[in-house]
């Protein structure tokens, strides 16, 4: 396991990185193609006058993944029209929810090429943990030069293995309320892996903890309106492995009181069109889920079969 601590102004001087220094990032595994696609979307959003956020690292991450002699692919929203505007609105929704969560401990599950540790105005004393596979960490960390705006810890772990022990060893406090983010993750895990992940998250969550997540319904796997999306993801080696038709009930079974984020209201408040993949009038039951939950069970629940 690789780990790296870097700190913002409020958290003291950064410690030397444990990731070996190198002139260029490591090659990315095929499954990380989705992380690059999201970085391209965030880079495109960051240049507009009416942008929903500014991500100064996204373009750097995307450029580093380009193959010499080959043109860079267009943003995901251009390749898959039903996804147009989705990543930008999803990013802003989770940005806002994290900042108002009241939690000073944040865990990004499968952080990918996320730059929230650098671009969000975190309250003083915030500790943020980024978890992702070693290959993605090795690609990302040499590209990061900026100081974080929080105390940032990077853990190179596979969420399908034991990640609890490394997180605790890195200074995570299970007695403190935590904001967990599972963005672009759950659909790439099997149902059993998702249940195992949520059990561990629940065991580490103090009262007052918040969980933000995204998932897709069964109808979202191959409907006519989103079929192109599935082919793009399959080509990148990142096929969806699970769906959820009732995420509210599933989260309740794991001790979380959940509700769907009102994407339509958020889009209206930001003067943006509702992305088709979040518009039930456009895609029907294939509409994606953006979820926010609070910890409703004070103790770990029995294992769910």
CB atoms within 10 A of CB 272: 15
pLDDT recorded at residue 28: 66
Report the pLDDT averaged over residues 259-287. 95
Report the pLDDT averaged over residues 6-24. 41
Residue 277: is its pLDDT beyond 90? yes
Percentage of the chain beyond pLDDT 90 is: 67
Q: Encoding tokens for residue 207?
A: 């009262």
Candidates 149, 173, 127; CA nearest to 56 is 149
Question: Tens digits of per-residue pLDDT, 35-91?
Answer: 998 999 999 999 989 999 999 999 999 999 888 888 877 777 777 888 899 999 999
pLDDT band at residue 1 under the 50/70/90 scheme: low
Domain residue limits at 260: 3-31+82-295
pLDDT recorded at residue 69: 84
Residue 160 lies in a domain: yes
At 114, which CATH number?
A: 3.40.50.150
Residue 228: is its pLDDT beyond 60? no
Residue 301: is its pLDDT beyond 90? no
Residues 6+ apart with CB under 8 A from 299: none
Question: Tens digits of per-residue pLDDT, 241-261?
Answer: 888 889 999 999 999 999 999
Residue 230 lies in a domain: yes
pLDDT recorded at residue 68: 83
Query: For the chain, how many structural domains are there in total?
Result: 1
Question: Tens digits of per-residue pLDDT, 189-206?
Answer: 999 999 999 999 999 999
Residue 165 lies in a domain: yes
Candidates 209, 180, 217; CA nearest to 197 is 180
Please state, rounded to an integer, the average pLDDT across all residues of the chain.
85
Higher pLDDT among residues 26 and 102, named by residue: 102
In order of 84, 220, 268, 280, the CA distances from 276 in angstroms are: 7, 12, 14, 8
Residue 247 lies in a domain: yes
Q: How far apart are CA 216 and CA 20, in angstroms?
A: 37
Report the pLDDT averaged over residues 124-152. 96
pLDDT recorded at residue 81: 85
Report the pLDDT averaged over residues 231-236. 44
pLDDT band at residue 19 under the 50/70/90 scheme: very low
């Amino acid at each position: 396991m690789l780990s790296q601590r870097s700190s913002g102004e409020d958290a003291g001087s950064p410690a030397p990185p444990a990731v070996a220094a190198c002139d260029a990032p490591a090659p990315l595994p095929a499954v990380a193609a989705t992380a690059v696609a999201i970085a391209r979307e965030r880079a495109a959003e960051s240049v507009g006058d009416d942008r929903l956020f500014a991500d100064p690292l996204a373009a750097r991450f995307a450029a580093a993944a380009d193959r010499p002699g080959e043109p860079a692919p267009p943003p995901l929203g251009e390749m898959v029209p039903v996804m147009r505007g989705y990543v930008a609105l999803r990013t802003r929704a989770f940005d806002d929810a994290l900042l108002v969560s009241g939690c000073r401990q944040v865990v990004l599950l499968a952080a990918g090429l996320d730059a929230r540790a650098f671009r969000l105005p975190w309250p003083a004393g915030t500790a943020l943990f980024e978890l992702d596979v070693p290959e993605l960490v090795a690609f990302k960390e040499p590209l990061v030069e900026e100081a974080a705006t929080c105390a940032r810890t990077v853990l190179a772990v596979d969420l399908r293995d034991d990640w609890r022990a490394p997180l605790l060893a890195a200074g995570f406090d299970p007695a403190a309320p935590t904001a967990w983010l599972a963005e672009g993750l759950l659909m790439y895990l099997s149902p059993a892996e998702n249940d195992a992940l949520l059990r561990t998250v629940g065991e580490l969550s103090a009262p007052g903890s918040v969980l933000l997540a995204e998932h897709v319904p069964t109808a979202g796997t191959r409907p006519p309106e989103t079929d192109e999306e599935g082919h793009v993801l399959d080509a990148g080696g990142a096929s969806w492995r699970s769906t959820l038709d009732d995420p509210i009930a599933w989260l309740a079974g794991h001790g979380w009181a959940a509700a769907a984020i009102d994407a339509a209201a958020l889009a209206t408040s930001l003067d943006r069109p509702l992305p088709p993949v979040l518009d039930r009038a456009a895609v029907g039951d294939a509409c994606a889920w953006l979820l926010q939950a609070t910890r409703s069970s004070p103790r770990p629940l029995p294992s769910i079969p």
